[in-house]
Amino acid sequence: MNAAEALEAAARHPLWYHTIELAPGHVTPGVFDLRPIVDRLPWPDVRGKRCLDVGTYDGFLAFELEKRGAAEVVAVDIDDHRLWDWPYELRAKGPEFLAELAGEEKGAGFRIAKAALGSKAERVSVSVYDLDPAELGRFDVVVCGSLLLHLRDPIRALEAIRGVCDGLFLSAECIDLWLTALWPRRPLVRLGPGHQVHWWVPSAAAHRRMLETAGFAIERTTRPYVVAYGVRHPGRSRAPRQLAHDLLQRALAGGVGVPHAAALCRPV
């Protein structure tokens, strides 16, 4: 499709995970909006580099790599909702519900955004667990955002990422802000509720320790920050308890959203 057709397709797309400006005046109604924090991430110099975006979904970070001058961008994700790491409580009905909500064609958002932006990024259907240098080659820079909490085995995933990373790895992940604030140096992890596809939610210290355990040496980190909710995010409670929670989150992470921390590291 050409750019004009892509903008029409974007308006019909049932669910955007990422908020992406496809053209002036055309912004996808995403569930989350990374635009306010993208420049706060500890980016390496990607100019002229071969780059990989792991767990790309609609492709926000893949297209950001192109904007920053990457010579080649490969984006990977899985195409079958049934292959997600579903907790037991969701395993029977979760894939059907997600297919109904987001549409049967997983990856359509990436395809539409790619056409609208004139991107050359290539999307490959593969699980993070199955990253293989024999199939994909090796990469100068790898990025992965907001994926580890959705995985039953995040260390295995990180080791697979290390297997295709020849240079630097930028990991930007959801953290438990309260564990981080109360025990800033202790690597603590909260097991997520069974009614969400949330497994291990680490403190910032635990996120760093997970990277080290998987064979990375950390070079730079960020303070906790939040990924803002997009216009398609479900409405939030205005109950006093939620308002108090939001006030504390603003104090600790500078805003209201999903707490994250990022680290730039390299394979040992």
Query: Can you give the pTM of this predicted structure?
Result: 0.95
Q: 73: closest CA among 97, 49, 99? A: 49
Whole-number Å distance between alpha carbons of 147 and 149:
6
> Residue 195 gets which letter from DSSP?
T
Whole-number Å distance between alpha carbons of 109 and 113:
6
Taking 70 as the pLDDT cut, the residues of the chain under it are none
Whole-number Å distance between alpha carbons of 13 and 22:
13
Q: 183 in helix, strand or coil?
A: coil
CATH of the domain at 41: 3.40.50.150
Q: Tell me, what's the pLDDT at 102?
A: 84
Q: Tell me, what's the pLDDT at 80?
A: 87
Q: 242 in helix, strand or coil?
A: helix
Q: Tell me, what's the pLDDT at 266?
A: 98
Q: Which domain holds residue 245?
A: 3-267
Element (H, E) at 30: strand 30-33
Q: How many residues are there in the chain?
A: 268
The CB-side HSE value for 71 (13 A sphere, CA atoms) comes to 7
For strand 72-77 and strand 50-54, is the pairing parallel, antiparallel, or unpaired?
parallel
The two counts, helices (H) then strands (E), for the chain are 9, 14
What average pLDDT is seen over the chain?
95
Q: Read off the pLDDT of residues 215-233 as tens digits, 9 standing for 90 and up.
A: 999 999 999 999 999 999 9
Tokens of 207: 């996120």
Domain count, the chain: 1
Q: Tell me, what's the pLDDT at 14?
A: 93
Residue 255 CB burial class (10 angstroms; 0-12, 13-18, ≥19): middle
